[in-house]
Amino acid sequence: MPIEIHCPACSRGIRAPDDAGGKTGKCPYCGVSVYIPMPASESGDIPLAPVDPQVERQREKLRQEAVQYAAEVDHEQGGKYDVSPSPRGARGAGAGKPPPAPREEPIIDIPEQVKRFVLAMRDSDLAGAERIVARLKRRKDQTTEYVQGMLLDQMGLRIDRVPQALVNGFLKNLLERLE
């Protein structure tokens, strides 16, 4: 049974022999090189892996931490969500109030925050960049290691419509501010 495809250039229908599957051929109408996929019967479906309850629990924990972090960021920016530990219904100054529980250090998505820093610098939002630096200082060692890796990586951090030299300059500026 022949493999039926359409040429990506001229959109004409092409029939290729079964043994051409997985190879490249030329369109007989326009001569453009066309990839011929494997026939459906030979591709073989890959069964899904079973669900691992431990992985699902870890995902749920990470999701809850992300929600907590988002609420804290919103609170820092004057939002309406307050995540500070306070018992419901407590009235008066300290009346029957247990001491506040020590707050855990929020999870910081270092790659996302570094990207936001570069975007803030690109947009000349110095106040926003300073807030991001303050957040990243909580994880100074990990941030420094990540940024240094970005500077050494040939691909580095890519931002649309920002020259790579400028991105690298912003990253070096971030390293200086972390010290």
* pLDDT higher than threshold 60 for residue 42: no
- pLDDT tens-digit series, residues 127-178: 999 999 999 998 888 889 888 888 887 667 788 777 888 888 898 999 999 8
Contact between 84 and 68 under an 8 Å Cβ cutoff? The reply is: no
* pLDDT higher than threshold 70 for residue 91: no
- pLDDT tens-digit series, residues 77-90: 665 544 444 444 44
Identify the pLDDT of residue 86.
44
Contact between 109 and 121 under an 8 Å Cβ cutoff? The reply is: no
Token pair recorded at residue 81:
């969500």
**DSSP 8-state class, residue 119:** H
Task: Name residue 54's amino acid.
Answer: Q
Is 176 buried (19+), middle (13-18) or exposed (0-12) by CB count in 10 A?
exposed
Give the pTM. Answer: 0.42
**Cβ partners under 8 Å of residue 148, min gap 6:** 175
* pLDDT higher than threshold 60 for residue 62: yes
Residue matched to tokens 């030299």: 165
Identify the pLDDT of residue 51.
83
Enumerate the β-bridge partners of residue 82: none
For the chain, which residues make up each domain, given as ranges? 3-39, 110-178
Q: How far apart are CA 147 and CA 178, in angstroms?
A: 11
Q: How far apart are CA 96 and CA 89, in angstroms?
A: 10
Mean pLDDT score, 35-54: 73
